[in-house]
Amino acid sequence: LMGVSKAVLQYVVFCHQEESDWPLSEGSRLRARFDEIFSASRYTLALDKIKKFRKEQAATLRQLKAELAALDERKGRAVALRRQVSEASTAVTAIDDEISRAVAKQAELRASLRSLDAQAAAVQDDMARLSATKARLNELRATVRSLERSIDTHYAEDTDQLTTLRASAIAKLEREKRRATTAEAAVATATASRDEAAGRLADARVALGRLEGAREALRSAERRRDEALARLAAEVPAGAHGGGNVRQAAEARLVELRARERDEAASTRAA
């Protein structure tokens, strides 16, 4: 009964039986009562305004609750993105360290390869000298055999001359044999060194290939990292509460990492 005036209560709702015929009253009295009854319209109007206000407030409350839920969700996303950026930064630092170590190891292996290539070239020279010495030895042996036949044919009657010539040829042959033996020993040593150097060279090339593969894997990881940071920067609304800082931090980190990569690439090319 809220909003119902006293006149309505008395003359309409709770009207006593002895007064139930008041509509038949004299004009002045009837007019007065009707004035009292219809003055209740201001209460009805007030009640309508209250209902309308409550409805508006309820709608406003629902809207505020929806906005609060959206803000809570956005805050949760911002916190999660901060954590992801922190984890990504840690991973990037680790990758940068691995790349630095890989670049240093690569430079060391390249220097070792240059040294091994020089050793291999020296071994090839020794092999060439050995081949020349063997050819000369074979030539001398053929010469000695030819001389022996010539001696038997032309100097058979001159024993002293034959003995001297034979002794000279044999001495020369022995010298060449000693030289050949020395050359063969040197070549054997050089061959062993060459085989060892070739093994080390093969191992170094395999290790370098592994490093190149690891470097390419790291580059792929860097590209994925850049894409992740770009997505993080794009997902955080610039106007979100606390989101602007995360977005700016992600974008700044991305720019810094790309600049560092360009510097490292330039250093590698220069090396």
> pLDDT band at residue 251, thresholds of 50, 70 and 90?
low
Task: Tell me the per-residue pLDDT of 114-165, one tens digit each, with 9 for 90 and over.
Answer: 877 787 777 778 778 778 877 877 887 787 777 667 666 655 555 666 677 7
Q: Are 95 and 222 in contact (CB under 8 A)?
A: yes
Task: Tell me the per-residue pLDDT of 168-221, one tens digit each, with 9 for 90 and over.
Answer: 777 777 887 787 777 777 777 767 776 776 677 777 677 777 777 776 777 777
Here the contacts of 125-134 (C-beta below 8 Å, separation 24 or greater) are: 126/186, 126/187, 126/190, 127/187, 127/190, 127/191, 127/194, 129/183, 129/187, 130/183, 130/184, 130/186, 130/187, 133/179, 133/180, 133/183, 134/180, 134/183
Whether residue 49 has pLDDT greater than 80: yes
Task: Tell me the per-residue pLDDT of 30-41, one tens digit each, with 9 for 90 and over.
Answer: 666 666 666 656
> pLDDT band at residue 241, thresholds of 50, 70 and 90?
very low
Task: Tell me the per-residue pLDDT of 71-96, one tens digit each, with 9 for 90 and over.
Answer: 888 888 878 877 877 776 777 677 67
The four Cα atoms 146, 149, 154, 156 give a dihedral, to 10 degrees, of 140
Domains and CATH numbers, the chain: 89-270 (1.10.287)
Q: How far is CA 10 from CA 18, 34, 146, 205, in A?
A: 12, 12, 161, 110
Q: Are 260 and 96 in contact (CB under 8 A)?
A: yes
Please report where in the chains the tokens 């209740």 appear, as a residue.
40
pTM: 0.40
Whether residue 61 has pLDDT greater than 80: yes
CA distance 245 to 85: 11
